[in-house]
Amino acid sequence: MLARGERTGYDIAAAMRRPVSYFWTAGHSQIHPELQKLLAGGLVVYETRHGPGPQDKKVYRLTPEGSGALREWVTTPPRERPERDELVLKTYASWLADPPLLKRLFADQLALHEARLAEYEREEGLFGEPPRPGDPKFGNYATLRCGLGYERHRAEWCRWMVAQLSDSL
Amino acid sequence: MLARGERTGYDIAAAMRRPVSYFWTAGHSQIHPELQKLLAGGLVVYETRHGPGPQDKKVYRLTPEGSGALREWVTTPPRERPERDELVLKTYASWLADPPLLKRLFADQLALHEARLAEYEREEGLFGEPPRPGDPKFGNYATLRCGLGYERHRAEWCRWMVAQLSDSL
DNA sequence: ACTGGCATGTAAAGCGTTACATGATTTT
DNA sequence: AAAATCATGTAACGCTTTACATGCCAGT
């Protein structure tokens, strides 16, 4: 986020109330210590400014070293895919659950994914011309596309589950 | 896993080298303490038996209380979707990366997802008649379907990314 | 002689969440 | 008068990973 411009810890936390890139979250209690670590490592610096709040704010920005480290991090392969999905794990043991309760669980999840999908589609509409790689906005657009694909896949799977459970009742 | 039959900690760890339900992992150093907690809570019991190894093995099985707790857990709504995906986060900052390196990152990821997809499709073929809910095998089948959908969505997104990066070079 | 499978654990460190802690200004 | 926004932190707890620790037996 700092690569997109200077920000306070508060700004970052506020933006993260909705997951950055649709797939990452952090609370302010994680952000402030993390900024201190980056500062100690010389990857960011800050400037103190007065703001509407009671405390002076610390406006952080990336140093050239920070920018370089980020640049390198981007192209190092990530650890394996997120292998922790509670709903899928529950599904694994679903044969011993109460079928109507189970059906409701998946119907609720389906509604949730459909709502998110509608919201993402609205956001997609806000981009006129799709941004090209090299533009910071490309990051926003590409992650949104991932979110869209994810929600579609998820909604479809939940719909299939509901259908399976309906048949068996 | 214990709901499917009695097992030792070693058995569970061995099965978890590949994620259970395609979306959950654990190492033996997490499994053994966890079994001790379940034991203390009366959710499992074990029987000591001789095996090929040097130590006697502890064969665990669910108690009625354990089975009941699991049954309840299955239908309690999970915490929100897994919002932590390193590759997507990298994508968010991808505009400052070296384009050829970035393209390679996604090409590698694509290959990985395609390989997994092929493997899952093979596994799908091993089920003849799809199991019905109520059958323990339904858990295996339903989670496999989720894995298939996930890999398809992921592969498609990676393919799109590679295409975007090819155009811009 | 070495590798891999069987078999169970503990310890340390890192990461993440929730709760604790303070306090001014602006809006309702 | 109360609630929301701005603003920064620390502490406690829980989960996960990695490393440490042991040791027999079977196959190559």
Identity at A127, one-letter amino acid code: F
Phi/psi for A135 (5° steps) reads -85, 130
Structure confidence by residue, pLDDT tens digits, A116-165: 999 999 999 999 999 999 999 999 999 999 999 999 999 999 999 999 99
CA dihedral sign, ordered A112, B19, A94, A152? positive
pLDDT at B15 (0 to 100): 95
Structure confidence by residue, pLDDT tens digits, B38-86: 999 999 999 999 877 778 899 999 999 999 999 999 999 998 766 899 9
Flag whether B104 is in a domain. Answer: yes
Do B47 and B119 belong together in one domain? no
Flag whether A81 is in a domain. Answer: no
Distance in angstroms between the alpha carbons of the first and the last residue of chain A: 49
Q: How many domains does chain B have?
A: 2
CA distance A23 to chain B (A): 4
Residue A30 clears pLDDT 90, i.e. is over it: yes
Which bases along strand C come within 7 Å of a protein CB atom?
A: 5-11, 16-20, 23-26
Do B27 and B98 belong together in one domain? no
Do A97 and A163 belong together in one domain? yes
Structure confidence by residue, pLDDT tens digits, A35-80: 999 999 999 999 999 877 778 999 999 999 999 999 999 999 998 7
Nearest to A88 among B85, B92, B143 (CB): B143
pLDDT at B79 (0 to 100): 82
pLDDT at B52 (0 to 100): 77
| Nearest to B86, CA basis, from A75, A138, A7 | A75
pLDDT at B169 (0 to 100): 73
pLDDT at B141 (0 to 100): 97
Do A56 and A10 belong together in one domain? yes
Flag whether A79 is in a domain. Answer: no
List the B79 CA – D8 C1' distance (angstroms). Answer: 28
H helix or E strand, kind and range, residue B7: none
Instruction: Write out the residue range of the structural domain in which residue B50 sits.
Output: 2-74
Q: Which of B44, B74, B104 is the last residue of a domain?
A: B74
Name all protein residues with C-beta less than 7 A from any atom of nucleic acid chain D.
Answer: A 8-11, 13-14, 28-29, 32-33, 35-36, 51-55, 57-58, 84; B 25-27, 29-30, 52-55
The nucleotide closest to A24 (CA, C1' atoms) = C16
Nearest to A88 among B23, B96, B99 (CB): B23
| Residue count of chain B | 169
pLDDT at B55 (0 to 100): 80
Instruction: Return the residue in B18, B70, B75, B160 with the most chain A beta carbons within 10 A, the one to mutate for interface testing.
Output: B75
Do A103 and A153 belong together in one domain? yes
pLDDT at A54 (0 to 100): 75
Residues of chain B with pLDDT under 70: 81-82
pLDDT at A140 (0 to 100): 96
Flag whether A39 is in a domain. Answer: yes
pLDDT at A34 (0 to 100): 96
Do B63 and B91 belong together in one domain? no
